A and B are shown apart, each in its own frame.
Chain A
Amino acid sequence: DQQVKQNSPSLSVQEGRISILNCDYTNSMFDYFLWYKKYPAEGPTFLISISSIKDKNEDGRFTVFLNKSAKHLSLHIVPSQPGDSAVYFCAASATGGFKTIFGAGTRLFVKA
Chain B
Amino acid sequence: DAGVIQSPRHEVTEMGQEVTLRCKPISGHNSLFWYRQTMMRGLELLIYFNNNVPIDDSGMPEDRFSAKMPNASFSTLKIQPSEPRDSAVYFCASSMPSTQYFGPGTRLTVL
Contacts and interface: CB of A to CB of B under 8 A. Distances in A.
A99 to B, nearest CB: 6
B34 interface: no
A41 B56 CA distance: 27
Give the secondary structure class of B's interface.
strand
Given A43-B91, A98-B55, A99-B48, A49 B98 contact: yes
Interface of B: 4, 31, 33, 35, 41-43, 45, 48, 50, 55-56, 91, 93, 97-105
A18 B72 CA distance: 42
Residue among B41, B43, B55, B93 with most chain A CB within 10 A: B43
A86 to B, nearest CB: 13
Contact of B101 (A32, A46, A104): A46
A104 B42 contact: yes
Given A43-B105, A98-B50, 17 more contacts: A34-B98, A36-B102, A41-B104, A42-B104, A43-B4, A43-B93, A43-B103, A43-B104, A46-B100, A89-B43, A98-B48, A99-B45, A100-B100, A103-B42, A104-B41, A104-B42, A105-B42
